[in-house]
């Protein structure tokens, strides 16, 4: 394995006042993945992280002289460096792992985006104030509306624009049900060893569980599945508590506090 | 065929040849509202797997299939447009394929982001690589089984088959993805075995030399009786409506002795009506 530089850094938006549910989930998933690989990373918060990222999406990591964004490419990048979590799986398991990762992206991530950009109350109360927080008056509105328009167009393209909040929550429930069934009583999705799927699921579920939104409907859906909440707690204890005090867990917790406002 | 579909889900049509569309639509519709009741025998984990693989297909394979059939210039001009133009009835075939092409293009631009236009080459490479990976994963998951969950088919099989069969059977001039699918022997066998099991009437040559045959003998032999009945019905309905209107509004009135002007109008109008009904 190639040496991992000490100054490797992960960039995301400001934890306290800016980052949104979906970005926080993605960022936490990457952090969990790197922790599972035992690769130390420093979390750096920048108000313009979204514009710094090569793909326009958060988070991205800066390792040596390379910049990689999003979980999928980061997993490949780390693999090229000689660290992998899924080498022990057979081909069928690898196929299933990829499929479940797409399930999370397809349903949980899209549901988060729907909630924060298409649900009018959430948009007014949480999304716009947070998203535009680093910028002065006219700009914060302009950027927020620009982003909102972009996300809503995408929702239209994938056929989610016509869904109601109830339908979206129903989808989340279906997705959690599938994950819960798959996990069963195992410690991780593929038994003893964590994989990138575990990191991704943890990132999303933990963020959903700890983020206070307008209503609790979303987190209630996850709380119905006790093995999933236990799974989140287990990974939090194993990979985040004590490792670095001021970053990851607090990233998730602080968003809870700041979202309470 | 696609344009008869009541729910207007032409998207499906884009990746599907006419010969199995009706069946697919049925199975897909059973999918959504009933939450996979086609999968009665599956265990809870298998149902979860179904959901996961459906996501994988929709996220990684479907957009690239749309690209292959509708956006890739060579395939669109030489295969898809030709095929649609031959199958869609007269007035519509001039603009419907183009409209669909535009809509698919727009949809992909939205899904893949705006930089898709700027960096088409790179993104295509990336996405096609992911789609090939998706096919490989499916092949690995299938292994040497007959269906995805053992010996009996489930809704996942219907979905996978509906995505793969057109790709396997269409004669695409630019077959990047097709080549990869053909190299995965077990997926090819899987498609052919489903074809012979559930679509026995389609086994002969017609489907192998799509698109031309699909437009001529393959489908028409099957659709002819319906087609004629529908045409006849629409003409009759049109005729009755027009005559009724003509009489009621007084354009035509029956007067003994002067029949001249009334006989011309219904005939010209009737043609228009017939076109609309198609």
For the record, the structure tokens of B257 come out as 């002795």
Residue B146 contacts A, CB cutoff 8 Å: no
Residue B198 has pLDDT above 50, yes or no: yes
Higher pLDDT, A233 or B119: A233
For the record, the structure tokens of A131 come out as 């998203």
Higher pLDDT, B8 or B175: B175
The stretch A129-152 carries a mean pLDDT of 93
Q: Where are the alpha helices (DSSP H) in A158-194?
A: 165-183
> What is each CA distance from B273 to A191, B1, B40, B93, B269, in whole angstroms?
66, 22, 47, 17, 6
- For B62, name the nearest residue in chain A, comparing CA atoms only: A158
- For A92, name the nearest residue in chain B, comparing CA atoms only: B141
Task: Tell me which residue of B87, B89, B117 sits closest to B211, measured CA to CA.
Answer: B87
Rounded to whole angstroms, the Cα distance separating A255 from A257 reads 5
Residue B111 contacts A, CB cutoff 8 Å: yes
Residue B8 contacts A, CB cutoff 8 Å: no
Q: How far apart are the CA of A194 and the nearest CA of chain B, in angstroms?
A: 19
pLDDT band at B118 (very low <50, low <70, confident <90, very high): low
CB hemisphere CA count around B264 (13 angstroms): 3
Least confident of A160-164, A190-194, B218-222: B218-222
> Which residues in chain B are contacts of A94 at CB distance < 8 A?
137, 140
Residue A225 has pLDDT above 90, yes or no: yes
Residue B68: predicted pLDDT = 87
Residue B118 contacts A, CB cutoff 8 Å: no
Strands of the A66-69 sheet, one edge to the other: A42-45, A9-12, A60-63, A66-69
Query: Residue B48 is nearest to which of A105, A157, A182, comparing CB atoms?
Result: A182
Least confident of A25-29, A113-117, B231-235: B231-235
Query: Residue B111 is nearest to which of A96, A99, A157, comparing CB atoms?
Result: A157
Residue B106: predicted pLDDT = 86
Q: How far apart are the CA of B43 and the nearest CA of chain A, in angstroms?
A: 10
DSSP state of A2: P
Radius of gyration of chain A (CA): 18
Angle subtended at Cα B27 by Cα B23 and Cα B30, rounded to the nearest 5 degrees: 140
For the record, the structure tokens of B191 come out as 């498609």
Helix (H, G, I), strand (E, B) or coil at B147: strand
Residue B102 has pLDDT above 50, yes or no: yes
The stretch A57-68 carries a mean pLDDT of 92
Query: Which candidate in A99, A100, A150, A200 is best for mutational testing of the B interface (most B CBs within 10 A)?
Result: A99
- For A177, name the nearest residue in chain B, comparing CA atoms only: B48
Give the other-Cβ count within 10 Å of A75's Cβ: 23
> Which residues in chain A are contacts of B111 at CB distance < 8 A?
154, 157-158
Residue B90: predicted pLDDT = 78
Task: Tell me which residue of A239, A258, A203, A205 sits closest to A58, measured CA to CA.
Answer: A203
The stretch A166-181 carries a mean pLDDT of 94
Residue A115 has pLDDT above 70, yes or no: yes
Residue B20 has pLDDT above 90, yes or no: no
Least confident of A5-19, A153-167, B252-266: B252-266
Its ipTM equals 0.86
| Averaged pLDDT score across all residues of chain A | 89
Residue A142 contacts B, CB cutoff 8 Å: no
Residue in the block written with tokens 């409209």: B99
Residue B112: predicted pLDDT = 78
The stretch A192-219 carries a mean pLDDT of 93
Query: Residue A102 is nearest to which of B35, B60, B140, comparing CB atoms?
Result: B60
Which residues, listed in sequence order, are joined to residue A60 by a DSSP beta bridge?
A: A11, A69
The stretch B100-115 carries a mean pLDDT of 82
Query: Residue A178 is nearest to which of B48, B107, B137, comparing CB atoms?
Result: B48
In chain A, the percentage of residues whose pLDDT exceeds 90 is: 73
For the record, the structure tokens of A253 come out as 């917790």
Task: Tell me which residue of B159, B167, B153 sits closest to B69, measured CA to CA.
Answer: B167
Contact B72, B105 (CB under 8 A): no
pTM given for the model: 0.76
Instruction: Give Cα B32 distance to the centre of its chain.
Output: 18
| Averaged pLDDT score across all residues of chain B | 73
Query: Residue A181 is nearest to which of B44, B53, B141, comparing CB atoms?
Result: B44
> Which residues in chain B are contacts of A178 at CB distance < 8 A?
47-48, 51-52
What residues contact B224, with CB distance under 8 A and at least 6 apart? none
Residue B11: predicted pLDDT = 34
Residue B274 has pLDDT above 90, yes or no: no
Query: Which candidate in B12, B33, B51, B136 is best for mutational testing of the A interface (most A CBs within 10 A)?
Result: B51
> What is each CA distance from B188 to A57, A189, A204, B180, in whole angstroms?
37, 31, 37, 11
Put simply, the answer to whether A94 touches B49 (Cβ < 8 Å) is no
The stretch B43-56 carries a mean pLDDT of 90
Kindly report, residue by residue over B132-189, the tens digit of the pLDDT. 999 999 999 998 898 998 888 888 999 999 999 989 888 888 888 889 999 999 999 9
- For B106, name the nearest residue in chain A, comparing CA atoms only: A157
Q: Length of chain B, please?
A: 278
pLDDT band at B3 (very low <50, low <70, confident <90, very high): very low
pLDDT band at A200 (very low <50, low <70, confident <90, very high): very high
CB hemisphere CA count around B126 (13 angstroms): 9
Rounded to whole angstroms, the Cα distance separating A177 from A171 reads 10
Task: Tell me which residue of B17, B15, B12, B46 sits closest to B28, measured CA to CA.
Answer: B12
Residue B85: predicted pLDDT = 85
Put simply, the answer to whether B55 touches A91 (Cβ < 8 Å) is no
Sign of the C-alpha dihedral, residues A246, A259, A222, A101? Answer: negative
Contact B115, B123 (CB under 8 A): yes
DSSP H or E run through A202: helix A196-210
What residues contact B52, with CB distance under 8 A and at least 6 apart? A96, A99, A100, A102, A103, A178, A182
Residue B154: predicted pLDDT = 87
Query: Which candidate in B33, B50, B55, B106 is best for mutational testing of the A interface (most A CBs within 10 A)?
Result: B55
The stretch A40-68 carries a mean pLDDT of 92
Higher pLDDT, B227 or A146: A146
Residue B34: predicted pLDDT = 47
DSSP per position, B69-123: IIISHHHIIIIIHHHHHHHS-TTGGGTHHHHHHHHHHHHHHHHH-THHHHTHHHH
Residue B37: predicted pLDDT = 57
The stretch A29-41 carries a mean pLDDT of 94
Least confident of A186-195, A251-260, B105-114, B233-242: A251-260
Put simply, the answer to whether B59 touches A179 (Cβ < 8 Å) is no
Residue B38: predicted pLDDT = 63
Residue B82: predicted pLDDT = 84
Rounded to whole angstroms, the Cα distance separating B160 from B155 reads 9
Query: Which candidate in A103, A107, A167, A170 is best for mutational testing of the B interface (most B CBs within 10 A)?
Result: A103
Give the other-Cβ count within 10 Å of B155's Cβ: 21
Residue A1 has pLDDT above 90, yes or no: no
Contact B72, B167 (CB under 8 A): no
Residue B261 has pLDDT above 90, yes or no: no
Residue B95: predicted pLDDT = 84
Residue in the block written with tokens 């990746």: B15
Residue B1 has pLDDT above 70, yes or no: no
Higher pLDDT, B213 or A96: A96
Higher pLDDT, A138 or B36: A138
- For A73, name the nearest residue in chain B, comparing CA atoms only: B126
Least confident of A199-213, B132-146, B158-172, B221-235: B221-235
Q: Where are the alpha helices (DSSP H) in chain B?
A: 10-14, 18-34, 44-56, 62-66, 73-75, 81-87, 96-112, 115-118, 120-142, 155-169, 176-183, 185-198, 205-208, 212-213, 219-248, 264-277
Residue B207: predicted pLDDT = 43
């Amino acid at each position: 394995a190639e040496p991992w530089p000490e100054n490797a850094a992960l960039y995301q938006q400001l934890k306290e006042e800016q980052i949104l549910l979906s970005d926080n989930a993605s960022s936490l998933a990457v952090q969990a993945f790197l922790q599972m690989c035992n690769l130390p990373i420093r979390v750096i918060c920048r108000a313009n992280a979204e514009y710094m990222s090569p793909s326009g999406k958060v988070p991205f990591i800066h390792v040596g002289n390379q910049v990689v964004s999003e979980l999928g490419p980061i997993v490949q990048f780390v693999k090229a460096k000689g660290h992998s979590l899924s080498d022990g799986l057979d081909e069928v398991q690898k196929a299933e792992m990829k499929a479940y990762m797409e399930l999370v992206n397809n349903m949980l991530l899209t549901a988060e985006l729907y909630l924060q950009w298409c649900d009018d109350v959430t948009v007014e109360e949480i999304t716009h104030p947070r998203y535009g927080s680093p910028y002065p008056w006219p700009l914060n509105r302009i950027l927020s509306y620009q982003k909102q328009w972009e996300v809503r167009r995408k929702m239209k393209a994938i056929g989610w624009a016509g869904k109601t909040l109830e339908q979206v929550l129903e989808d989340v429930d279906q997705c959690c049900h599938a994950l819960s069934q798959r996990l069963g009583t195992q410690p991780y999705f593929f038994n003893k060893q964590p994989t990138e799927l575990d990191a991704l699921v943890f990132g999303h579920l933990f963020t959903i569980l700890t983020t206070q939104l307008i209503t609790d409907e979303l987190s209630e859906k996850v709380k119905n599945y006790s093995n999933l909440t236990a799974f989140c707690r287990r990974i939090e204890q194993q990979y985040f508590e004590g490792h670095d005090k001021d970053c990851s867990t607090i990233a998730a917790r602080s968003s809870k506090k700041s979202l309470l406002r | 065929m696609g344009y008869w579909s009541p729910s207007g889900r032409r998207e499906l049509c884009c990746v599907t040849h006419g010969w199995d569309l009706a069946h697919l639509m049925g199975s897909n519709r059973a999918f959504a509202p009933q939450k996979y009741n086609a999968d009665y025998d599956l265990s809870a984990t298998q149902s979860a797997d179904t959901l996961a693989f459906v996501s994988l297909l929709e996220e990684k394979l479907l957009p690239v299939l749309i690209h292959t059939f509708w956006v890739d210039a060579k395939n669109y001009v030489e295969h898809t447009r030709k095929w649609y133009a031959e199958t869609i009835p007269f007035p519509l075939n001039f603009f419907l394929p183009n409209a669909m092409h535009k809509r698919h293009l727009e949809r992909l631009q939205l899904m893949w982001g705006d930089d898709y236009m700027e960096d088409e080459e790179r993104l295509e490479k990336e996405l096609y690589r992911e789609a090939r990976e998706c096919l490989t994963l499916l092949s690995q998951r299938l292994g040497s089984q007959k269906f995805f969950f053992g010996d009996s088919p489930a809704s996942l099989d219907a979905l996978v088959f509906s995505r793969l069969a057109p790709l396997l059977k269409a004669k695409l001039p630019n077959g990047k993805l097709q080549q990869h699918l053909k190299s995965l022997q077990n997926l090819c066998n899987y498609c052919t075995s489903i074809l012979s099991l559930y679509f026995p009437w389609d086994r002969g040559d017609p489907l192998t030399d799509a698109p031309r045959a699909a437009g001529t003998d393959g489908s028409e032999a099957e659709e002819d009786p319906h087609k004629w009945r529908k045409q006849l019905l629409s003409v009759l309905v049109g005729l009755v409506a027009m005559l009724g209107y003509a009489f009621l509004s007084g354009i035509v009135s029956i007067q003994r002795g002067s029949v001249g002007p009334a006989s011309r109008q219904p005939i010209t109008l009737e043609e228009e009506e017939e076109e609309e009904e198609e």
